[in-house]
A and B are shown apart, each in its own frame.
Chain A
Amino acid sequence: MIGSAVPRKEDAALLTGRGTFVDDIHRPGLLHMVYVHSTEAHALVTGIDTEEARSLPGVLGVWTARDFADLPPRPSVPGLERGYLAGDKVHYVGEPVAVVVAADRYTAADAARAVRVAYEPLPVMATVADALAPGAVPIFAPLPGNLALEQQVTPDDVTADLAAAPHRLRARLVNQRCAGTPIEPYGVLADWTGAGPTVWATVQAPHRVRAEIAERFGLARHLVRVIAPDVGGAFGVKSSFMPELFLAPELSRRLGRPVKYVETRGEHMVHTYHGRDQIQDVEVGFDAEGRILAMDVTITVNIGGVPDPVGIGLATLTSYMLGGCYRIPKIAARYRSVVTNTTPTASYRGAGRPEASFLIERVVDLVARELGEDPADVRKVNLIQPEEMPYQTPFEGIVYDEADYPAALDLLLGELDYAALRAEQARRLADPAAPLLGVGLSTFVEMGGFGPTPLFEQFGYLGGWESANVRMQPDGSVIVLVGTAPHGQGHQTALAQIVADQLNVPFDAISVLYGDTAVVQEGTGTMGSRGMPVAGNAVRQAAVEVAAKARTIAAHMLEAEADDVVPVGDGFQIKGVPEATVTMAEVAVRAFKPHLLPEGTALGLEHTAYYEPKNLSYPSGAHGCVVEIDRDTGRVTVLRYVCVDDCGTVINPLTARGQIHGGVAQGIAQALYEKVAFDPGGRPLAASLEDYMVPGPLDLPSYETHHIETKSSFNPLGAKGLGEAGATAAPQAVVNAVVDALAHLGVRDVEMPCTPERVWKVMHDAR
């Protein structure tokens, strides 16, 4: 079954309106919780008048920070503990200041509007430049210069290498702030009955959420049940520990009734954490062929108004991946995470790695431009060769698995018909009536399969392994419990395919369950492209054990040695004796008959496996983008988008294609459309889907997808992961194409998003 494009098990319910998303769940006596959000970017809170709100019929109460003073803080950066609501001070527009509970959502919204908050404004620092300026007001007392973290990632000093390099160039690249914008916003429903709460939530790691809730409330974990039901997209933004995860259970406990919170889209845009937002200063030394000899990188990250424990350190991952798929002997990298009066930033699809890929892919193009070489040739000179794999990068512990980067690039150039495109580009350049043509390449590598436990512990997780229980029923059907919590990736389907192969059981006889801490053994979750490389291997390992036991039982039934018994059709036979067979269903029943089992065989036919990845995996590939730019308006149109992807073993080509498409779509969106902007006063300029340009069907092209399948030796399945590959590869493919189209004007860079306005201005200024 591995490798077949079977339609998904998930779809029947989702297509008929019978999915179960958090907001679809009703409980008797359900109450609705709504926040009052700060309207100020930086201010002292001098008073909160809740009287009018409380007096509205149907309102059960209004609570402010001091009402939750007894709860231990949310998961926080040590020394910068964050509570659930802003207290005496607000740090960004959208920070929750108070919370209202009412009998229905309309009344709750009315009441939230009736709460009056008095502010005494403070100077606003909406950009890192403002926050780092000498004399800037500290946003947090323990951070006098608004610097939350300064990290030297490599001890390499490349000053001498840069000085010795035949050529050098510098660039400042901006990776703008984006909002994850899953179409389902964040939601929580908590029902505290008896000794602890049941919490349905739009989360990516239910066991971790359970642990955090249990810890806050001083409960043993078995008393807390967290369920991630159907989740309507997440893209990393549903992995942050939002205050509602704790406030809804606490208010349910206090009120003795179930409490639901579902954010509005307007809230999502300012309240749920954003991603990216890096400024990258790079200096690179290279030789006459474009061979990169050394690179020095300083990254400045805007982590927003309340440091998030993941967001604060994401640039570590950016640093690790700075070399891309190139043989760069020396890299010096450091970063600064800066607090500003904006919404906090944390994970968004790729979380730190797309920023690295963007940097190095833009740098390679700049090097090519500087030398007057073709960007494809400069890539070829620098690419790590297949025989160098596994490849030790300059960063300790960052070792790339098997891949053939040059083959991916060659396949891409062939599919693009690169030479013909260059000819067409020249033709159009000579014809003032023709729109400009640009071709952009992105030979990317990212980091997937998160991750070995020591790495994942740094992000607060119990481990980086994943768990699977594979259990055969007495009729030969199979139930799989897996510790991931997918939200569109199709794990029910892909994991069933893996089990079908190992157990020789029909795909339709396998069900995969996840997302419920009361049902599933300890698990980790879905993020970091870990579904197939980690969970897939856990499932595989559990299935291998079950298959081995089934074979032992079959051998006993056939009165043969296990080694002489082989799987055939729907069961087993003695090797070379076609009439000596038993079916899997017969074996399954036998597994529950203690008196008929071989000596010492435990009852039942199931196994729980915890798979710990030895290493991260490194999905890679080559993407190419062809754009057309209107000479009069600066409007960019993507004419073709071609992907060559190497995610290792492809479990299901249909869902794999979907993952690539979705990631590329988000990457193109970052390159052309999306930006979370703030005015100098910290007021969000992208507070709704009218202002934040999530692309619609007319804004995105068709994608041409191709695979190279280089299996990873780092795990038995050979899978590398692919949830984040598209989003990692695409922005720079598009931007390189845009810059390529304008190169004749002397344009070196166009900042994302490459809107018509910005492109027109760049063209205009260059003339």
Chain B
Amino acid sequence: MRVEITVNGQPHTREVEPRLLLVHFLRDTLSLTGTHIGCDTSSCGACTVLLDGVAVKSCTVLAAQADGRAVTTIEGLAGEDGLSPVQEGFRQCHGLQCGFCTPGMVMAATALLAERPDPTEQEIRNGLKGNMCRCTGYQMIVESVRWAAANGGAR
């Protein structure tokens, strides 16, 4: 089937299998490999992207369901002026180690800050509860998001 999906502002029209997952569309069809796959049960959140501005797990969405919609991936976050505040927060506060959960974590945090510009620690933990990190133990991720909240927010 034919889908037209706008990814990071760029429209893409492709012929896809109806069962193709959005995450594979991004990674394999468009070679946007920043979005990762960490599980097969919608548990880990490594595949989190924004679909029309809402954080979704792209392993749980068919490419067909994204037809006519806009996707933002980790590749679309940094602007001409460099890293987004969330990305910079993760760098400043060592919110990543291996970096595998990071794209999903950064996208989820971006969506969280868009909704709640000044979240408490508990609100951050709650907002990221669909995302797993095996390296950091989360505290420095929480600190990263708070840094971002204080330095520009969701942009």
Contacts and interface: CB of A to CB of B under 8 A. Distances in A.
B29 to A, nearest CB: 11
A740 B130 CA distance: 33
Contact of B94 (A181, A231, A658): A658
Contacts of B98: 182-184, 230-234, 487-488
A266 interface: yes
A534 B70 CA distance: 49
A105 to B, nearest CB: 8
B134 A182 contact: yes
Interface stretch (A10-18, A40-48, A273-281, A300-308): A10-18
A16 B43 contact: no
Given A16-B77, A232-B100, A488-B135, A183 B40 contact: no
Given A11-B90, A23-B37, A183-B132, A106 B97 contact: no
Residue from B33, B75, B129, B135 with most neighbouring chain A CB atoms (10 Å): B135
B34 A17 contact: yes
B139 interface: yes
Contacts of B129: 696-698
Given A8-B94, A184-B36, A697 B99 contact: no
Interface residues of A, number: 54
B106 interface: yes
Nearest to A487: B98
A664 B134 CA distance: 11
B134 A694 contact: yes
B126 to A, nearest CB: 6
Given A8-B94, A14-B102, A703-B139, A689 B132 contact: yes
Contact of B91 (A11, A17, A235, A700): A11
Nearest to B137: A665
B68 interface: no
Interface in B38-86: 38-41, 43-44, 46, 73-75, 77-78, 83
A233 B100 contact: yes
Residue from B46, B77, B139 with most neighbouring chain A CB atoms (10 Å): B139
Given A15-B87, A23-B37, A489 B101 contact: no
B120 interface: no
B40 A688 contact: yes
Residue from B27, B97, B121, B133 with most neighbouring chain A CB atoms (10 Å): B97
B133 A658 contact: no
Contacts of A264: 40
A32 to B, nearest CB: 10
A185 B38 contact: yes
A7 B124 CA distance: 22
A690 B43 contact: yes
B137 A662 contact: yes
Contacts of A665: 136-138
A490 interface: yes
Contacts of A490: 97
Residue from A24, A184, A655 with most neighbouring chain B CB atoms (10 Å): A184
A232 B36 contact: yes
A658 B131 CA distance: 18
A670 to B, nearest CB: 13
B23 to A, nearest CB: 11
Nearest to A264: B40
Contact of B128 (A16, A181, A688, A697): A697
A221 interface: no
Given A8-B94, A235-B134, A689-B39, 8 more contacts: A16-B34, A21-B33, A657-B94, A658-B94, A662-B137, A665-B137, A689-B41, A697-B133
14 contacts: A12-B91, A16-B78, A17-B73, A26-B31, A182-B98, A183-B44, A183-B100, A183-B101, A265-B44, A662-B137, A666-B134, A689-B132, A697-B141, A700-B137
Interface of A: 7-8, 10-12, 14-19, 21, 23-24, 26, 105-106, 181-185, 230-235, 264-266, 487-490, 654-655, 657-658, 661-662, 664-666, 688-690, 694, 696-698, 700, 702-703
Among all A-B residue pairs, the 5 with the closest Cβ atoms: A17-B34, A232-B100, A665-B137, A14-B99, A488-B98
